[in-house]
Each structure stands twice: as C-alpha cells, then as structure tokens.
Amino acid sequence: MNTLKLKNVNKHYGKKKHALCDFTFEFTNGIYGLLGPNGAGKSTLMNIITDNLLPDKDGGKIYWNGEETRILKDKFRSCSGFMPQQQNLYESMTAHTFLNYIAALKCLDKKRAEKEISAIIERVELTDSIDKKMGGFSGGMKQRVLIAAAMLGDPDLLILDEPTAGLDPKQRVIIRNMVSDLGQEKIIIISTHIVSDIETIAKEILFIKEGHLIDSGTIPELVEKVESGEKSLENLYMQYYGELQK
C-alpha cells in the first residue's frame, strides 16, 4: 500500500493570490477525483505534488510512503506519472519518438519501453498514428498521447490533470476504463469538470474551493450531504459552487 501525505501545503502567486491554503490530505491506493471550478487550485496542487511548482517557503510538506518527496527527488519522480493540463508537445516528433523519449527519461530499458508503448498506444487507439508527427494530431489525439506518456513505466502514483478535456464520449469511456483497471494497486488523482468521468470509479472525491479543501469522502458519504433534490454528486457540486456561477 502506498501513501501520499500532504501536510499544510500553501502556495501564493505573488503577494495577494493565495492559490492553495493549508492543504492537508492523505491518499492511499485507489482513485481520487478532484473537483472544483476554474481557478480553484487543482492544477496548482497537482503541479506541486509532482515537483513542477514549488510551494511557498515553509509552505508545508509532502510525504511519499513516509519520506519527504523533496528529499526523495528522482526516486519519487521515477515512481510517478503526470499528465499536465497544458498541452506541450513536440509537434515535429512522431508519437513513437515522443513516447520513447519519455520512456528514456523514466529510465525504462528499450525492450520494456517498446512493449509498453505498443500496449498503451493500442489501448488509447493511436496505433495507426504512432509514426505520424504530432503537429498534425487533433486535440483529443494529443491528449491521448499525453495520457499514454503518463502511464509509461507503470507508476505507483498517477496524476492526471483534466485528462478527458476535449475528448469525445467514446474516448472518455476508454480512458475511464483504463484508469479504473489501474486504480486498485496505485494512487491515481484525477481532476475533471465532468462528474460522470469519476463518479463510478473514484474511491473518494475531494472538493476544492478557492484553494481550500472544503470536503472529501466516498461518494455515498458525500451525497448524503445534498440538501435538496436528488442525492447526486452533481447536486452536491452545485450546492458547493452554484453561487459562483451566477
């Protein structure tokens, strides 16, 4: 069993913007859905966990299986996979070259890399495009290459920042099933705006609002808190964030 523990993590952008406020949570193996409106702090949190962004000075601590990630550094990186929200792809590379490059960064040997790449690429239905330059890919195809890249090396911690944004319904289901299959033996954290992407697969849901973790729990626990209407996650979302959308 893996554990990822966040203790009082804080992040300011400049002096005024407090994007993450005393974020404390412990993740264990399973799938976690991160919900919150635009600007809530989801990407900030994910970028900090994956060491792509520094928290504030003295802005809390993150532990992977009991050891500080800041000290583990490469050891932690090698067991985590991250799909960032921003699509930064090398447009002139083929998907195959790109995935080989990511596999090399993750120190996978060539044989294992080839085996994993062809299996993953088949699951995300990109086999026919693997030798094409990514510059010519649709948004959804690029998205799927990035998901495949995050999954390479079978990481114990998988962090996916809006993996299904821009995907058509069929591809959303494929990704959901892939994540669901993987979820038992690793920690997977997924941010999304599409509640149906996670409501059947998530062990727990975290609600973030203006940098604060405002609630978390299993779906049955959470939906009990719906005050009016059907006891659904979507209605709880509206209860927590509805007023922001006026």
Closer residue to Mg ion, CB minimum distance, 43 or 192: 43
User: 55: which 2 tokens?
Assistant: 């928290």
Torsion 213-215-219-221 (CA) sign: positive
Query: Taking CB under 5 A as the rule, does residue 192 contact Mg ion?
Result: no
Provide, rounded to whole angstroms, the least separation between the CB of residue 116 and ligand ATP: 29
Task: Identify what 41 binds: Mg ion, ligand ATP, none; CB under 5 to 8 Å per kind.
Answer: ligand ATP
* Residue 63 burial (CB count, 10 A): 18
- Tokens 């509640």 correspond to 195
Task: Identify what 217 binds: Mg ion, ligand ATP, none; CB under 5 to 8 Å per kind.
Answer: none
Provide, rounded to whole angstroms, the least separation between the CB of residue 144 and Mg ion: 19
The site map against ligand ATP for 12-41 (x = CB under 6 A) is: -x---x-x----------------x-xxxx
Query: Taking CB under 6 A as the rule, does residue 113 contact ligand ATP?
Result: no
| Of 157, 206, 160, residue with least CA distance to 186 | 157
110 exposed, middle or buried (CB, 10 Å; 0-12, 13-18, 19+)? exposed
For residues 117 and 130, what is the distance between their CA atoms, to the nearest angstrom?
Answer: 10
DSSP 8-state symbol, 228: S
Query: Taking CB under 6 A as the rule, does residue 244 contact ligand ATP?
Result: no
Query: Taking CB under 6 A as the rule, does residue 43 contact ligand ATP?
Result: yes
For 215-230, b/e burial (b = at least 16 CB within 10 A) is bbeebeebbeebeeee
Of residues 83-102, those binding ligand ATP (CB under 6 A): 85
For β-strands 204-209 and 30-35, DSSP reports them as parallel
The site map against ligand ATP for 53-82 (x = CB under 6 A) is: ------------------------------
* Residue 36 burial (CB count, 10 A): 24
The site map against Mg ion for 58-87 (x = CB under 5 A) is: ---------------------------x--
* Residue from 10, 43, 80, 129 binding Mg ion (CB under 5 A): 43
**Binding residues for ligand ATP, per CB under 6 A?**
13, 17, 19, 36, 38-44, 85
